[in-house]
Structure 1
């Protein structure tokens, strides 16, 4: 019986060693798979970021240019680009000019924000996509 227990003990040790080796192999395989997955995820994220950069720049340029021409006096195009202070300035000047136009003195100032919006809209639409993106979205140039 002692020999039998010894054989069982040896078999148990061998099974344990085999299980240990299998676990190490599985862990190495899992690390390799995780590394491959991380590389693929980074590649996909970079492709997505490049795609968004290209698509967002042109769409934002056209939308902002058209809004500047149509609603330039209200500063909507400034809000689209993230220039809140400048947007509120145009909006405030427009509101004050419209209120003062009831008195007559505002008629001199009503056209100023509209001309600013028209000029900026034309400038936005005539720039190339990269130039627009670098100047107004990255460089944050608020006026003209």
Structure 2
């Protein structure tokens, strides 16, 4: 069971490198974030995703974002 707090904070602070995606088990998306980190776009998306993770319910977070 992954922590939504950890995923949210990783998304906000290290979203540019896709660390939150690797934490959630989404390796393909994490690599995509790494490839485009020089553009700054993944940082913006990671920040937004971090906020979404923090404000979603625990059940929704686990079912929608965590890869088993």
Same fold (TM over 0.5): yes
Equivalent pairs, count: 68
Gaps of at least 5 residues in structure 1 are 1-55, 98-108
Question: Under a length normalisation based on structure 1, what TM-score does the superposition of the two structures give?
Answer: 0.44
Give the structure with higher Rg (CA).
Answer: 1
Describe how 1:122-137 pairs up with structure 2 within 5 A. Answer: 122-137=51-66
Tell me if 1:84 matches 2:22: no
More helix by share: 1
CA distance in 1, matches of 2:18, 2:65: 15
Structure 2 partner of 1:74 = 17
Question: Under a length normalisation based on structure 2, what TM-score does the superposition of the two structures give?
Answer: 0.90
CA distance in 2, matches of 1:77, 1:137: 11
Which structure carries more relative contact order (alpha carbon 8 Å, separation 6+)? 2
Gaps of at least 5 residues in structure 2 are none
Question: What is the CA RMSD across the aligned residues, in angstroms?
Answer: 1.5
Describe how 1:40-79 pairs up with structure 2 within 5 A. Answer: 56-57=1-2, 60-79=3-22
CA deviations over 1:43-93 (Å, ceiling 9, x no partner): xxxxxxxxxxxxx34xx2110110000000000000001110100010111
Offset at 1:113? 1.1
CA distance in 2, matches of 1:120, 1:86: 13
